[in-house]
Amino acid sequence: MNSFDIIGPVMVGPSSSHTAGAVKIGNISQKLLGTSVRKADIFFHGSFLATGKGHGTDRALVAGLLGFPVDDSRIPDSFRYAEEADMDFHLSGIDLGDVHPNSVKLLLSGDEGKKIEIVAASVGGGAIRVTEIDGLPANFSGDYPTLVVNNLDQPGHVTEITSMLSHKSINIATMQLYRSSKGGHAVIVLECDQEVPADAIRWLAHLEGILKVTYLGLAKTAKNS
Amino acid sequence: MYQSFQEIIEIEKKTGKSFWEIIRDNDCQEMEITPEEAFLRMRNMYEAMREADTSYDPSLSSASGLVGGDGAKLEEARKKGSLLCGSFLGLVMEKAVKMGESNACMRRIVAAPTAGSCGVLPAVFLSLEEEKGYAVEEMTKALYVSAGIGGIIAQRASVSGAAGGCQAEIGAASAMAAGSVAYLLGGGGEAIAHAAALAMKNLLGLACDPVAGLVEVPCVKRNVIGAVNALTSADMAASGIRSRIPPDEVFDAMRNVGRMLPEDLRETGKGGLAATPTGIAFRENLKSF
């Protein structure tokens, strides 16, 4: 912790969890999609649904999908900017069950037929967690470069990924494995200390048994494979 | 960040460094930046507060319609000279309300320590600068004092309404501002610690009971009591008055009180003012998606 965790951030109000956190969920979701957002179906759950309108959670989330930072004065007018950017969005409520009260589900489509389904939560003070990607669980903050690999549940994929990272001198901060069922779909989530280069992501995506590779880069220009 | 006032006061005695320097140096170490960079970053925070204050727009109202325009009413009364509290405290009140309203109306603010309590520090700091002629450099140092106090509170207790009630938001901001003013009045670590403790003691147990769960009622106007309480506490500390309960123990008490607060009074919008018939009616009138 440092002084700027106490004095700051500079943000558009009114709430770090319901406004700034929602912007951040939008930012990270757009980066995970990897292109500009063309269509967004946004489903608010719990406290986001109950108090989101009053906190500007809807406008904050759309602003985040447009790539606006948390202190961007355009956040209150994000619906207008979405129209200008040709981004189609639809807002509604949902009951996601036993999840964090500040949760939202996003169905996003971008260019080149890209699609992603994300569930994320704003967990306080502007911090967030991505809790589900494409129907499988995940648990990461978006504070690290993050690699999400969907693959068939078969031997060898973890080794392929970790040897590639080792080859590129990338240190793994955290690693999670989930699967829908034995031999079904699996997802591997890796938070890394260094950025994963685009060629390495492309290489992974073409391996047998790898269904989809999604990458969250922290550099402003970072793009998906 | 340091976990106790005692620790900082000991370093102050040992090294001869000022409270704010101790906090800044700790940032430099943690963030791997130079003292100049650290100081500039904090000055930018102060300038962002000023920008938020001067860009207040009295014509705005919040999404719920519950908040807006009250800062302009105080400004008018102050300029007419009709405020009992006089021109200085009048200015403090006005700036506190304006910043709280700007936050509720989705303007850009500095969370310090939180968005709901964002009016306390700027109201105190900007008014002192305007009325008493402190240099921006001094105000930046004072803001470092605030950060150090906030760090102690965050680690010993909490700076989140959901965890510790409003004492952890308006209360924390008030304690931070009180210590900063004690510094500006010439106090060292001991006076700073006692000013912060005196301020917190007045707000221990404050419920976080926002109507309809929004950062509007009573949050906006509570920024006024946070700011004014900081000034009176700093004046007491600068006069030599000390908290009979040592400052670090006061913030331990704050943590314990926060834990005892029922969930309905911790930012859930279920208890207190939110549970009044009028509060419930406001909630029911709110549009959903």
Same domain, yes or no: A169 and A122: no
Position A79 in a domain: yes
| Domain end position, chosen among A104, A133, A162 | A133
| Domains identified in chain B, total number | 1
Domain holding A36: CATH number? 3.30.1330.90
Residues A10 and A89 in one domain: yes
Rounded to whole angstroms, the Cα distance separating B6 from B252 reads 13
Give me the phi and psi of A152, to 5 degrees please: -75, 145
A126, A90: one domain: yes
Query: Which ipTM was obtained for this model?
Result: 0.97
| B103, B143, B267 from B113: Cα distances, Å | 13, 11, 16
Residue in the structure block whose two tokens are 């938070």: A191
A34 touches chain B (CB under 8 A): no
How does pLDDT run across B165-202, given as a tens digit for each residue? 999 999 999 999 999 999 999 999 999 999 999 999 99
CA dihedral (A183, A187, A193, A196) positive or negative? positive
Can you give the pLDDT of all 225 residues of chain A as single tens digits? 899 999 999 999 999 999 999 999 999 999 999 999 999 999 999 999 988 989 999 999 999 999 999 999 999 999 999 999 999 999 999 999 999 999 999 999 999 999 999 999 999 888 999 999 999 999 999 999 999 999 999 999 999 999 999 999 999 999 999 998 999 999 999 999 999 999 999 999 999 999 999 999 987 543 333
Residues B186, B229: contact at Cβ < 8 Å? no
Q: How many beta-carbon pairs under 8 angstroms link A with B?
A: 145
Range of the domain at B105: 5-285
Residue with tokens 């995970």: A32
Which of A133, A159, A181 is where one domain is finished? A133
Q: How many CB atoms lie within 10 A of CB A24?
A: 24
* Predicted pLDDT of residue A225: 33
Q: Quick one: average pLDDT of B80-95?
A: 98
Per the CB < 8 A criterion, the answer to whether A43 and A92 are in contact is yes
Domain boundary among A106, A133, A160: A133
For B:174-203, CB contacts with A below 8 A are 176
Q: Among partner residues A6, A10, A54, which is closest to B154 by beta-carbon distance?
A: A6
Q: Enumerate the residues of chain A whose CB falls inside 8 A of the CB of residue B113.
A: 6-7
Query: How much is the average pLDDT of B246-272?
Result: 96
DSSP annotation of A16:
I
User: Amino acid identity, residue B165?
Assistant: G
Domain count, chain A: 2
DSSP A197: P
C-beta separation of B213 from B256 below 8 A: no
Q: How close B117 comes to chain A (CA, Å)?
A: 10
Q: Are residues A111 and A13 in the same domain?
A: yes
According to the model, what pLDDT value does residue A125 have?
A: 84
- CATH code for the domain in which residue B41 is found: 1.10.4100
**Which pLDDT band, with edges at 50, 70 and 90, does B90 fall under?**
very high
Q: What are phi and psi of B171, to 5 degrees?
A: -60, -45
Q: pLDDT value at position A222?
A: 38
Asked if B214 and A54 come within 8 Å (Cβ–Cβ), the reply is yes
Q: Cβ of A2 under 8 Å from any chain B Cβ?
A: yes
Mean predicted confidence (pLDDT) in B119-129: 98
Are A159 and A132 contacting, i.e. CB atoms less than 8 angstroms apart? no
Same domain, A123 and A187: no
Listed by number, the residues of chain B in 130-149 with a beta carbon closer than 8 Å to a beta carbon of chain A are: 143-144, 146-148
Q: Give the side-chain half-sphere CA count within 13 A for A69.
A: 7
Q: Which helix (H) or strand (E) holds B257?
A: helix B247-260
How big is the CA angle at B211 (ends B205 and B213), to the nearest 5 degrees?
90
Least Cα distance to B215 among B100, B119, B110, B123 occurs for: B100
Residues A113 and A166 in one domain: no
Under 8 Å between Cβ of A82 and A26: no
Q: Rounded to an integer, what distance in angstroms lies between the CA atom of residue B175 and that of residue B287?
A: 36
Long-range CB pairs of B241-248, under 8 A, 24+ apart, other chains included: B241/B194, B241/B198, B242/B194, B243/B194, B243/B197, B243/B198, B243/B201, B245/B197, B245/B201, B246/B197, B247/B5, B247/B193, B247/B194, B247/B196, B247/B197, B248/B4, B248/B5, B248/B6, B248/B152, B248/B156, B248/B193
Structural domain span for residue A150: 146-216
* Residue A191 and residue A174 in contact, taking contact as beta carbons nearer than 8 Å: yes
Residues A123 and A16 in one domain: yes
What is the amino acid identity at position B117? S
* Interchain contact, A12 vs B108, CB within 8 Å: yes
Q: Which two tokens stand for residue A188?
A: 């591997």
pLDDT at A220: 58
d(CA B191, CA B113): 21
Asked if residue A140 is part of any domain, the answer here is no
A141 within a domain of the structure (yes/no): no
- How far apart are the C-alpha atoms of B66 and B105, rounded to whole Å? 10
Q: What is the mean pLDDT of chain B?
A: 97
Model pLDDT, residue A117: 97
Q: Are A54 and B62 within 8 A, CB to CB?
A: yes
Of B121, B282, B115, B112, nearest to A23 by C-alpha is: B115
